[in-house]
Chain A
Amino acid sequence: MKGTRGRFGNIKRFWKTVCLFCLLALVCAGCGGSEKAEGLPSVRIGVSLYRGDDTFINNIRGELEKRAKAYEQETGVKVHLDIQDAKGSQNTQNNQVERFISLGCDVVCINMVDRTNVSIIIDKAMAAGVPVVFFNRQPVEEDMNRWDQLYYIGVDPKESAVLQGSIVADLYEENPEQVDRNGDGVVSYVLLEGESSHQDSVIRTEWSVQTLKDSGVPVEKLTGGIANWERSQASALMEQWLKEYPGRIELVISNNDDMALGAIDAIERAGVSGISLVGIDGTVPGNEAVEQGTLLGTVASDKEEYAGVMMDIAIARARGEELPEDLVLEEGKYYWVSQEIVMKKEK
């Protein structure tokens, strides 16, 4: 008996020693970490833009900076906004997110380059426990469902399109000749589309035309093309269409303001008149064009609300606080910014 107990005792002692050794190693490993210096109360937010030269995105960026400053002044908490331009490269954006995380960002706000290629960013953020606020370019639902710290802020593309269609429909109802300039009973239109991979582009295209049809406006599509949200590309397309369909284009439906402005550039260069144009976004240059009368109307999303909600979510998550009570998120993660029609003000 004694011999057996002695043997078991030896084995126990041996394993105890091994465990103690391991524990010591773990303690030593813990000592290897560095201690973060105590500084001011602050939050660090990394923002990556799909392209810094996009007018709408730049407007949002400007509002974000204003909100960050206002928050600093109100609370005394420093908001370190690190804004980077991905220049249309998903690879660059992935690297930017990696850098944000390594620099200790509390939250990242991402305007995806490729909304279908989100998994790398989500993986990195989840591993680091950094919440992600996506905006403007909506990731697919499967990706959004992967973690409860993912949010999306954008505008409802169907609502934008319906409002855009109603600008033309209302004008047509008031006086058909204002839109059907040649009086042939049909409004001939051309369509400028954004990137084919952007969710808003497809929906805006479909619903703006559908709204016209639903409102009883007789329409005929002459042609359409993808100008990737860009003014210069839209201008080139419009220049070509003006030559292909001389005197026939009565309406230009554009998925955004920048492309509508590009079409205006081409129309002015060609010295053509009598074409109505509608845009979406309500960018500063877009609204100016509406006031000057070169753009019939646009649909503006509330940029202050857009940036405000982004900042509210980012700061709450960064500080580990609950989201503001008045902020209602669809399915706990989606926020749709309100929109309105912008037409020339009567003087």
Chain B
Amino acid sequence: MITKREKIIWAVYGAALVLLFLASSTDLIIKERENPVYPISVVIEEDSDDQYVNFRKGMDQAAMELNADVSFITLYESSQAEQQLEMLRREKQDGAQALVVAPVDEGALETALEAEPLEVPLILSNGDGLAEYASAEVSVDIREMGRALGGEVAGRHGSGERILLFENGEETSVKGRFEEGLRESLSQAGFELVSVSGDRENGFRNALESLCYPAEQDAVVIALDPDSLLETAELLEESARYRPYVKGVYGRGTSIPVLNALDEGWITGLCVTDDFSAGYLCARLAVDGARGTLKKTEISLPFYYIEREALREPRYEKMLYPIE
């Protein structure tokens, strides 16, 4: 027989067990500290992340520190403004709380976003001044970079030298601004500029061949995009016959193959940027955007002109080969 006293003890036991269960498994009694994950998406202007290795490292670092879940999106085809816009909308629809974009075409993006805003914070990477539609921007003055490279080339080579401007035919805002600055600076210095659009076999090789035959002539090559720069370096590495006529190879980029080509002497001078910091800052601003604490911000990062010897300098080594 169970006495009243025993019943009470059992009931107290039962209530205590239930309370303990509720306390440990639910938020009803003890509120567990919330540790929200911030889904952010990064949409770049290219179809591969080859030029974004350090940028991604910086982004991953910020994601780890700030508990962000970063989706890094490359386009199906490079430089497709329409596709980039679709990707941004897709990511927003899929739950991204903030977006980072390296725009293919700022004008097209602005027009599209004016017509139909994304309604989530948008961080611009390498835009041309903080646009209306963007909540924040992390950028390098690409036009100034072009001017500075033009100045370096002008300082090293006589104005009688022909300059071949190699580019892959893909139109992006960044490349456009770089070319503008470069042309401005080199035209002022009196250089003759020849544009060569194409790729390694269809364009660049022919242009280099034309330096050797029928008449021998010298030229300086400046690549407007990192892919063309790397392809030029590869051509020079493979074919010794072009080398006497190419008086210098210049461009921009920070990928490992580009830096290796600089180190091996196939590239003469290079404009580089701190991509790790750019990636870190973009992710950080995006998380601020997702938290609702982002204020309109414009961060300008410096660029540097380096030659082979500078690769061994600790400050560039740290910047170009970041350790996560």
Interface residues, chain B, CB within 8 Å of chain A? 1-2, 7, 10-11, 14-15, 18, 21-22, 25-28, 37, 48, 69, 71, 74, 76, 90, 93-95
Contacts and interface: CB of A to CB of B under 8 A. Distances in A.
A45 to B, nearest CB: 12
Contacts of B11: 14, 17-18
B14 A32 contact: no
Contacts of B37: 103
Nearest to A87: B324
A39 B15 contact: no
A33 B225 CA distance: 50
A327 interface: no
Provide the main secondary structure of the chain A interface.
Answer: helix
A1 interface: no
Contact of A29 (B10, B15, B25, B76): B25
A22 B90 CA distance: 44
B76 A73 contact: yes
Nearest to A18: B14
29 contacts: A7-B1, A7-B2, A10-B7, A14-B7, A14-B10, A14-B11, A17-B11, A18-B10, A18-B14, A21-B18, A22-B14, A25-B18, A28-B22, A28-B26, A28-B28, A29-B21, A31-B26, A32-B25, A32-B28, A39-B95, A40-B90, A40-B94, A42-B94, A62-B48, A69-B74, A69-B76, A72-B76, A73-B76, A103-B69
Contacts of B21: 25, 29
Interface string A269-301: 000000000000000000000000000000000
A285 B28 CA distance: 60
Nearest to B75: A69
Contact of B94 (A18, A62, A78): A78
A28 B14 CA distance: 16
Contacts of A31: 26
A127 interface: no
B168 to A, nearest CB: 19
Given A39-B93, A39-B94, 15 more contacts: A7-B1, A10-B2, A10-B7, A14-B11, A21-B18, A22-B14, A25-B21, A28-B26, A31-B26, A32-B26, A32-B27, A40-B93, A65-B48, A103-B37, A103-B69
A31 B90 CA distance: 31
Nearest to B53: A52
Nearest to B96: A39
A80 interface: yes
Given A42-B94, A103-B37, A25 B22 contact: yes
A29 B90 contact: no
Nearest to B24: A29
Interface string A1-37: 0000001001100100110011001001101100001
A42 B15 CA distance: 44
A10 B2 CA distance: 9
A78 B90 contact: yes
Contact of A21 (B15, B28, B76): B15
Nearest to A14: B7
Contact of B71 (A22, A28, A37, A80): A80
